[in-house]
Amino acid sequence: MEAQLSELPTKDEEIEGLDTEDASWGDYPIDDLLIRNENRTIHDVIRRIHQGNYVMDPDFQRDFIWPEDKQSKLIESVIMRIPLPVFYMAEDDEGRMVVVDGLQRLSTFTQFVDGNLKLQLPGRDELDGKKFSDLSPKLRNRIEDSNLIFYIIDSKAPERARLDIFERVNGGVPLTRQQMRNCLFMGPATRFLKDEAKTDIFLEATGESLNYKSMRDKEFVNRFCAFQLLGIDEYRGDMDEFLAECLRQMNKMDESKLKRLSAEFRRSLINNFTLFGKHAFRKHEAGQDRRSVLNASLWDVMSTGLSYYPERLVEEHAELLRQTLYKLLEDEEFNAAITYGTSDTRRVKYRFEMVRKTLEGVLGAHADRPTAF
């Protein structure tokens, strides 16, 4: 990505129970990656941007804009007919184009043609200080008629393939998978993740341990929503596709259902914090003072597991529930299921089943239902 996200941390976050897989292209048929190329003029592209057909404002790079002198040099290059690098786009489910690589260049063209950029090109008297409307018809036509080459990742490509391609073609600071999902599924779903990750109870329950710049905080909210809405039986071992499908469905949900999902999430955070305080969602023993790292697999099972129970019920049985959960954390098989090979479907289903039985043994059964779409 052209924007230099210099504020992103260089150190990896300490998170346990989170499988990280390198992009593997061996699984993809050579002829079926579903990438096409198109040529469009700057005039046509700007028209489509004004119509809302291009997604131009991903949250993570909204504040990173080229300085005017760099924008001016790009316009100069177009006028001089210097070939530009290709642009990469990803088509979303509604047919809109999400800018993968080239946002700053497209923004510059739009700013200049719309009259919001004055060129800063000392030494070029015919261009310096000029807006688009100040140029001769010949130069205006040259800019608008300039051809841009787009490579477009089709919306029908498998989700992991789309993210792997997204990762490979990104020309600047590497994006996290959640940042890519945020681009591809912008809408009510991504706004929900953003709002929930800023609440006091989320920050308190997670100990502010999740990096908001890399969108790790939103990824954890996404994980809760996916298991809560889709259910464990829909998990097929591909977390990228699972989280993406959740966002697709959330973008179709009405406001009342999103509010109910928010209430379930916040109730769960309160219940977990009531039980374990600063140790919530972390492997630990009774009486332990030092805070361990967040465990993503424990987050999945505990955030969804305690989302159905009233806060008063959890408070009334807090001591017994803590003791029972501590015993579960001491179980070698359960401990392995939240630590190693955590994306394996058998381990995922095992840990969900064990937590369900543990909670029901103390609090009783609840109406086992995901929030309806």
- Cβ contacts of 21 within 8 Å, gap of 6 or more: 343
- What are the extents of the domains in the chain? 34-156, 177-363
For residue 33 the two structure tokens come to 């990656």
Which parts of the chain have pLDDT scores under 70? 1-13, 19-33, 57-64, 167, 169-174, 367-373
Q: Which of 147, 243, 111, 266 is nearest to 197 (CA)?
A: 266
**C-alpha radius of gyration, the chain, whole number:** 24
3-state helix, strand, coil in the chain (%, to 5): 50, 10, 40
Q: What is the pTM of this model?
A: 0.76
Strands (E), the chain: 15-16, 35-41, 54-55, 87-91, 97-101, 147-153, 294-295
Per-residue confidence (pLDDT) for residue 372, from 0 to 100: 44
What digits encode the pLDDT tens for the residues 237-265?
A: 989 999 999 999 999 999 999 999 999 99
Give residue 13's pLDDT: 63
Token pair, residue 126, equals 């015919």
In sequence order, what DSSP letters do the residues of 87-154 get, joined into one string? EEEEE-TTSPEEEEE-HHHHHHHHHHHTT------TT-TTTTT--GGGS-HHHHHHHHT-EEEEEEE-
44 vs 248: CA distance, rounded Å: 29
Residue located via tokens 């996916």: 226
